[in-house]
């Protein structure tokens, strides 16, 4: 929280943009942006310009590092924050009775395999099974494992594993600490931009929306669709996505993103209202 008075945001819904300085970051209109999305955003910007806004190009040079930086920091924080959800202190807990029974069945199965290996004289397999039995989980450890396996979805598990790797010994400086440095550079880009403009206008995503579940097997492609939105999270600035119509090919909604300086939410709502009125 911050000791800043919260205004009545409804007072900002005037639709007035005359004299406002609107910036178009070059890095958000490069190769990879769907041409129809580009044109739809440009059309709305032209409308703002017709209503008296001063539109100018600006640069946010470290934008290209946004995705990598965000998914290093976000996964590291997920790994750290979700470590407490073990079923004992917080969150969902797997059934202890079922966990114990499953553990007992697994031990009996391993003992049976061990007996068979001894009968066959398979010394390597005997040594392997004996080591596994020595290392077999206790009931409490098994409860932790089962709880987190059942309680977290695939995407959460993926982020925990990535974050744990980034925070592990020998990789902290290489990944997490370096990502924090780049985050500072991205924040500095925005600070400089808002010395020259009041609001930034960008597409919300580089492509039209994909179908529900269409990209679940390709997390990298899903992450890349966040390229225009993660930088606001890294810089700690407010953002607003405004619907600007349906994509001409599939009829799915397209969004325009507004980014403002710290605590400039009212200004974003003001510009968003102007865009909505022009639709």
Q: Which of 102, 120, 151 is the last residue of a domain?
A: 151
Average pLDDT, the chain: 90
CB 76, CB 42: distance < 8 Å: no
Q: What is the arithmetic mean of pLDDT over 117-125?
A: 91
Q: Binning pLDDT at 50, 70 and 90, where does residue 173 land?
A: confident
The reply to whether 147 and 70 lie within a common domain is no
Q: Give, for 37, the enclosing helix (H) or strand (E).
A: helix 35-50
* Residue 137 pLDDT exceeds 70: no
Local structure of 92: helix, strand or coil: coil
Q: Quick one: 141 and 220 in the same domain?
A: no
> Whole domain around residue 187: which residue ranges?
16-80+168-278
Q: Quick one: 200 and 72 in the same domain?
A: yes
Please indicate, yes or no, whether residues 202 and 266 belong to a single structural domain of this protein: yes
Q: What is the DSSP string of 155-208?
A: HHHHHHHHHHHHHSTTTIIIIIIHHHHHHHHHHHHHHHHHHH-SEEEEESSSSP
pLDDT at 240: 97
Cα dihedral 93, 97, 102, 108, rounded to 10, equals: 150
Provide the whole-model pTM: 0.80
Q: In the chain, what percentage of residues exceed pLDDT 70?
A: 99
Residue 4 is predicted with a pLDDT of: 86
Same domain? For 220 and 140 the reply is no
Neighbours of 222 (CB within 10 A): 14
State pLDDT tens for residues 226-257.
999 999 999 999 999 999 999 998 899 999 99
Q: What is the pLDDT of residues 20-77, one digit of tens each?
A: 999 999 999 998 899 999 999 999 999 999 999 999 999 999 999 999 999 999 999 9
Place of tokens 């392997």: 128
CATH of the domain at 48: 3.90.1300.10
**Mean local confidence (pLDDT), 3-32:** 93
Number of domains into which the chain is organized: 2
Domain limit, last residue, from 119, 151, 183: 151
pLDDT of residue 25: 97
Domain membership flag for residue 199: yes
Residue 157 belongs to some domain of the structure:
no
């Amino acid at each position: 929280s911050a000791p800043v008075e919260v205004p009545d945001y409804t007072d900002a819904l005037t639709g007035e943009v005359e004299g406002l300085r609107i910036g178009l970051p070059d890095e958000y209109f490069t190769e990879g942006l769907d041409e129809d999305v580009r044109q739809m955003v440009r059309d709305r910007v032209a409308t703002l310009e017709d209503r008296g806004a001063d539109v100018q190009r600006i640069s946010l040079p470290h934008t290209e590092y946004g995705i990598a930086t965000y998914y290093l920091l976000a996964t590291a924080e997920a790994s750290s924050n979700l470590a407490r959800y073990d079923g004992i202190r917080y969150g969902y807990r797997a059934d202890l009775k079922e966990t114990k029974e499953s553990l007992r069945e697994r031990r009996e199965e391993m003992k049976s395999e061990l007996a068979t290996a001894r009968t066959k004289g398979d010394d390597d397999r005997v040594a392997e099974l004996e080591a596994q039995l020595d290392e077999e989980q206790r009931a409490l450890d098994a409860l932790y494992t089962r709880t987190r396996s059942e309680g977290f979805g695939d995407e959460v598990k993926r982020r925990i594993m990535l974050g744990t790797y980034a925070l592990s010994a020998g990789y902290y400086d290489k990944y997490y600490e370096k990502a924090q440095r780049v985050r500072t550079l991205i924040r500095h880009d925005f600070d400089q931009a808002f010395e020259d403009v009041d609001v930034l206008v960008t597409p919300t995503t580089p492509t039209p929306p994909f179908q529900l579940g269409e990209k679940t097997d390709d997390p990298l492609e899903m992450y890349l669709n966040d390229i225009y939105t993660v930088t606001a999270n890294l810089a700690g600035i407010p953002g607003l996505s405004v619907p600007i119509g349906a994509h001409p090919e599939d009829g799915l909604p397209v969004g325009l993103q507004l980014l403002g300086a710290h605590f400039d939410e009212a200004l974003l709502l003001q510009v968003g209202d102007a865009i909505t009125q022009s639709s």
